[in-house]
Chain A
Amino acid sequence: MARPEEHRQTERSLTMSRAMVEAIAHEMREDDAVFYMGEDVADYGGIFDSTEGLLDEFGRDRIMDVPISETAYIGAAVGAAQGGMRPIAELMFVDFFGVGMDQIYNQMAKNTYMSGGALSVPMVLTAAVGGTYNDAAQHSQTLYGTFAHLPGMKVVVPSTAYDAKGLLHTAIRDDDPVVYLFHKRLMGIGWLPAPDGPKTGVPEEAYTIPFGRADIKREGADATVVTLGLHVHRALAAADSLADDGIDAEVIDLRTLAPLDIETIRDSVAKTGRLVVVDEDYRSYGLTGEIIAGVAEGDLAALDAVERVALPDVPIPYARPMENEVIPDTDDITAAIRRVRSDE
């Protein structure tokens, strides 16, 4: 299928949740093997609107409410996928992955390899991620690095409605397990207001965005900011505020963590010499270190200065002043960009 030009303007703009639902509905109409399982995905339409309206069109056989048994239904998705179905299984909050983790990382992610390629696991595991609304330590994590660390799953993190739809089409059509992590704060839900940015023009027809291709959301010559999810928008806000001071930051949205588009980042750093990596996941052993290492391996000499901005290694606290302290905000990113520019 022809892929419409990215960021093509349409007259219609959609929230991220509506763009996702459109992709799911399209794939379900095209392919009877696609179905959706999760808690509160039928009548409720997903706690974060990920399946809003789908029950009406597809009925309970294909939009399946399942028991609170993450091990069983995620594992059932694995088995059904191996049998030829194309299930989408939803974890209501990514924080609940622990309950079904064996099915995720020992079965879903490894069966293709352990079978020597004799079988494939064409499923999507969707999950809501992220904090910023005081839901505390068990309901606010992103865990990006956890999934990206373990081999055998492709990991997708959209930041706009346009990307969300195209990446979800790609995910459902992919013959391998894809973990699709959507940030609650970006969905465009009335009770969880999104920043400006995730609501974009979205073509009505289906289109795919290939995995492993980062997107330069803002071009700039003075510093490279690499990030994902909600923090794409915070980084863009930081870049805008610095533009008044004559600092021109480039903002790269990773979009997929596995596969990772390290080339786009290396090219950008070759140009700017300064790298800031921003993550809403924990700092240690995670995405920030990985990106910086990937750049250093490519061309150590290209790096004049590096900063990482991430959650400190503490569980996410409930109370506002503390949650605000640990989750990187626009000012934290602005300050980090200034620091990598401080010898200029």
Chain B
Amino acid sequence: MLGVTELQDMYETMVMARHYEERLQEEYLEGKQPAFDISAGPIPGELHLAAGHEASGVGVCHHLRAEDSVTAPHRPHHIAIAKGVDLKAMTAEIFGRETGLSGGKGGHMHLFDPDVNFACSGIIAEGCPPAVGAGLDAKKRNADDVAVAFLGEGAIDQGAFLESLNLASVQNLPVVFVIEDNDWAISMPKERVTDVTNGAQRAAGFDLPGTRVDADDVIAISDAATDAIGRARDGNGPSLLEVQVHRRMGHFMGDAEGYRPDADKDAATRRDAIERLETKLRANDIDDETFDELRSRARDRVEEAIEWAKEQPEPEPSAAYEDVFSSPPSEEPERAPSVADTGGED
């Protein structure tokens, strides 16, 4: 059971993640109106915002430590925030700045923060195998660290996901797979492309526990995650968890969602996990003043990060040639043993 203080923490993180996406949306659209040119403005390229996914990132990552690993898909911000990725450096990365997480090489779909073991892939389901590898690493080290792979419901038809379930299962690895079901894979509703409506059913074929959380509710998600993460940490192997979330801002920025019925869009807006948690907290006698405090703290952190990021310098063009290798071929040490190594001379 989560205490009220924990719930307040979760609320604050969810508000932060939501506000972050709202602010990035504003920044992204700058320079893209009225003509939407994807390469214009302070944030170019594709941008997949996760408003409506907060309960998943926060409900799961609340139970993780810095040593635990997370891989996120193309829609990663809420997960990164909940995992404790450095917000300023992440924001600078999204703005393509020199002090960003990757010095501007990765961008918003490719956020990497080794300090909290966070990584991304923009290729659908391809974050799953590295998460299995992180679980393998923990097992080999005899550590009780766990690995969590986040993926969309559109990713559960990929070989990389299914193969990962099997490998994790047969090796009994500490891995949790979290499917964020927002009902859509870009324009494709899940009924059109996937055989099951409940992705957790995939677990049965790999002999591992599968749970689905129907409500977009951070408390229910957190409860399910507690079980799955606990199982992994105790050495009892992987689990599959599917959680219902909602896509509030289109697949990517600029998506007019012409394919999506209005009723579906409205329903997504109405079912707001943040409001749901607020109701719960009010029932626990949290007052307006506390809410104001939580919200403004969350917002201030976002504003501070964005302001900071925008002041950061752009990378030098020549930086493009760095980091292909961690030990560039030209800097490789001599292979021949030195005199000292041979013990010949001091």
State whether the Cβ of B114 lies closer than 8 Å to any Cβ in chain A: no
- Across the interface, which residues of A come within 8 angstroms of B44, CB to CB? 133-134, 320
Bound state CA distance, A31 and B92, in angstroms? 52
Q: Which residues of B contact A98 (CB under 8 A)?
A: 123
Q: Please determine whether A133 and B96 come into contact, CB atoms closer than 8 angstroms.
A: no
A1 within 8 A of B: no
Q: Which of B121, B154, B315 is the one whose CB lies under 8 Å from A319?
A: B315
B84: CB under 8 A from chain A? no
The verdict on A139 contacting B320 (CB below 8 Å), with A39-B186, A68-B154 known, is no
B96, A134: Cβ atoms closer than 8 Å: yes
Q: By the criterion CB–CB under 8 Å, are A39 and B314 in contact?
A: no
Which of B14-22, B105-113, B217-225, B232-240 is near enough to bind chain A? B105-113
List A contacts of B311 (CB < 8 A): none
Q: Contact check: which of B38, B110, B317, B318 meets A318 at CB < 8 Å?
A: B110
Check B317 against A322 for contact (C-beta < 8 Å): yes
Cα distance A47–B252 in the bound complex, in angstroms: 11
Residues of B within 8 A of A135 (CB): 45-46, 107
Count of A-B residue pairs with CB < 8 Å: 140
Asked if residues B317 and A324 are in contact (CB atoms below 8 Å), the reply is yes
B123 and A40 contacting across the interface, CB-CB below 8 Å:
no
Q: Are B154 and A99 in contact (CB under 8 A)?
A: no
B104-149 residues at the A interface, CB under 8 angstroms: 104-107, 109-110, 121-126
Chain A residues with CB under 8 A of B230: none
Contacts of B67 on A, CB cut-off 8 Å?
A: none
- Is B82's CB within 8 Å of the partner chain A? no
B187 touches A40 (CB 8 A): yes
Q: Name which of A15-23, A121-129, A189-197 contacts chain B.
A: A189-197
- Does A261 belong to the interface (CB within 8 Å)? no
A332 within 8 A of B: no
Give chain B interface residues in 19-35, CB to chain A under 8 Å: 35
Which one, B193, B259, B321, contacts A67 given CB within 8 A? Answer: B193
A137 at the interface (CB under 8 A from B): yes
Top 7 A-B residue pairs of the complex, sorted by shortest distance between their CB atoms: A319-B104, A318-B107, A319-B96, A325-B317, A134-B44, A67-B157, A43-B259
**Could you list 10 examples of A-B contacts with CB < 8 Å?**
A65-B188, A65-B192, A68-B158, A136-B110, A192-B39, A314-B320, A314-B324, A318-B45, A320-B96, A322-B317
Other than the given A65-B193, A71-B159, A319-B97, 17 more pairs (CB < 8 A) read A47-B186, A67-B194, A68-B185, A132-B39, A134-B45, A135-B107, A191-B38, A312-B320, A313-B324, A314-B320, A317-B319, A317-B320, A318-B104, A319-B103, A322-B317, A322-B319, A325-B320
Residues of A in contact with B (beta carbons under 8 Å apart): 39-40, 42-44, 47, 65-69, 71-72, 95-96, 98-99, 132-139, 190-193, 312-315, 317-326
